[in-house]
Amino acid sequence: MPRLKKKYTTPQPEPKPATVMSTPVPYSFDLEQAAVYTSFSMWALRQAIIDGELPVVNPKPYIIRRVDLEKYVDQRLQKVEKRMQKAA
């Protein structure tokens, strides 16, 4: 069987990488959304609010600012790191 000749083709442009659309992070969360965002339980967050460790914008239903929530998580992580250093 005879060999087929290659046809001349125009060079194809390189495919562009897919653009990743990031979802915007909300300014504030209700208690359930905050639990999902931080991976803490709703009960743990509610207890932190009652103890005054986590400030809220609106008392009922609890509305928590993202900045306050991230600050609270950072404080909790620092406490855990200190405990780990003391144990070592």
Query: pLDDT digits over 2-45, tens only?
Result: 666 666 666 677 777 777 767 777 899 999 999 999 999 999 99
Residue 63 is assigned to a structural domain of this protein: yes
For residue 49, count other CB atoms closer than 10 A to its CB.
Answer: 18
| For residue 69, pLDDT beyond 80 | yes
Q: What is the pLDDT of residue 9?
A: 66
Question: How far is Cα 10 from Cα 23, in angstroms, rounded to an integer?
Answer: 39
Residue 78 is assigned to a structural domain of this protein: yes
Domains of the chain: total: 1
Range of the domain at 66: 28-87
Q: What is the pLDDT of residue 33?
A: 94
Residue 22 is assigned to a structural domain of this protein: no
Query: Between the CA of residue 27 and those of 3, 10, 70, what are the distances in Å?
Result: 66, 50, 12
Question: Phi and psi of 24, rounded to 5°?
Answer: -70, 145
Q: What is the pLDDT of residue 26?
A: 87
Residue 10 is assigned to a structural domain of this protein: no
The answer to whether residues 37 and 45 touch, using CB atoms and an 8 Å cutoff, is: no
**pLDDT (tens digit per residue) in 39-67:** 999 999 999 999 999 999 988 899 999 99
